[in-house]
Amino acid sequence: MDTPVEPLRIGVLGAARISSLSIVSPAKATGHRLVAVAARDRSRAQAWAADHGVERVVDSYEDLLADPEVDVVYNPLPNGLHGPWNVRALRAGKHVLSEKPSASNASEAAEVAAEVAKAGTTFMEAFHYLFHPVTRRVLEVVASRELGAVQHIATMVAIPAPPDADPRWSLELAGGAVMDLGCYSLHAQRILGPLVGGAPEVVAARAGTRAGHPGVDEWLDADLAFPGGVTGSARCHMAHDDVEMTLRVVGTEGEVVAHNFVQPHLDDRVTVTTPAGSRTESLGPRSSYTYQLEAFAAAVRTGAPLPIDAADAVASMETIDAAYRAAGLPPRPSSVL
């Protein structure tokens, strides 16, 4: 019988909307404690804590990092604040679960990785999709060679446009379609790399910027090349007509499609098509964020291995920066607190 894992004592930076899905519900489902929250506006933090069952509110981010009862910091702040506050949390001796991307650019991600090495605590970039059976099943199908030799990998992550004042449209806060959405498209390509000859490189990209927001990508399409000759197409769009979050792997003998690999709790289908026919498997609507928190807790409490680490976060940002440069856009600027 498995030994119960001691509950994490989680402190949340900010009162972000995503947190109800990404940390509050998973913590309740798995028995972990939300011990503290801090936000720039204390009254907002108080309301958020009351709504989500957080034990108490502290006055500032600094107070949360100094709190001896907090052993894990969850960082869902705007993208431009991920790197600096990840560094500060690590320096405070905390384990860190950071929303993706973990930093504004590869240089900043390397700074975070250096702090992880010094701190000796657990750090992970929250690519939650990786922990869901949908993604695991796609990897299994590719590895099984049921599709024959892989030829092409296509990823697309798109949503309707957020309001124009949303921080995701702010260059200073490291906004843009790639940072919010394309990071998933590129990450999934990289995760498949070991199965198709190695890590991919960005060979070309095209982008369109958001009107009124110079340098901020509304959409970006990146072409990738894997060492073994496999090609990739990683697309993202933050002003699309609809939600689309597909992962498709095409081989010489068929293809596999995850219909919504980023939000599998909304669509848990994986369809495999070969000359023998087509089948659709349903892998379960349990939240990918819940699977993620379970894996992170096991790593913190028992030293269980994680499939991604600080080095993966650096590689992720290197790929994002390369996509921006290939499209003629600058990588996101580093933040100074």
Quote the DSSP letter at residue 215: T
330 in any annotated domain = no
- 276 and 184, same structural domain? yes
- 242 and 168, same structural domain? yes
- 268 and 165, same structural domain? yes
Residue 29 has pLDDT above 50, yes or no: yes
319 in any annotated domain = no
- 268 and 179, same structural domain? yes
Residue 26 belongs to domain spanning: 9-126+291-308
Total-model pTM: 0.96
- 167 and 210, same structural domain? yes
- Which strand (E) or helix (H) includes residue 322? helix 310-326
Is 100 catalytic? The answer is yes
Residue 16 has pLDDT above 90, yes or no: no
Structural domain count, the chain: 2
pLDDT in tens, 103-132: 999 999 999 999 999 999 999 999 999 999
Cα distance between residue 281 and residue 255, in whole Å:
14
269 in any annotated domain = yes
Average pLDDT taken over every residue of the chain: 97
From the candidates 28, 94, 100, 118, which is the catalytic residue?
100
- 153 and 111, same structural domain? no
Among residues 240, 270, 285, the one where a domain terminates is 285
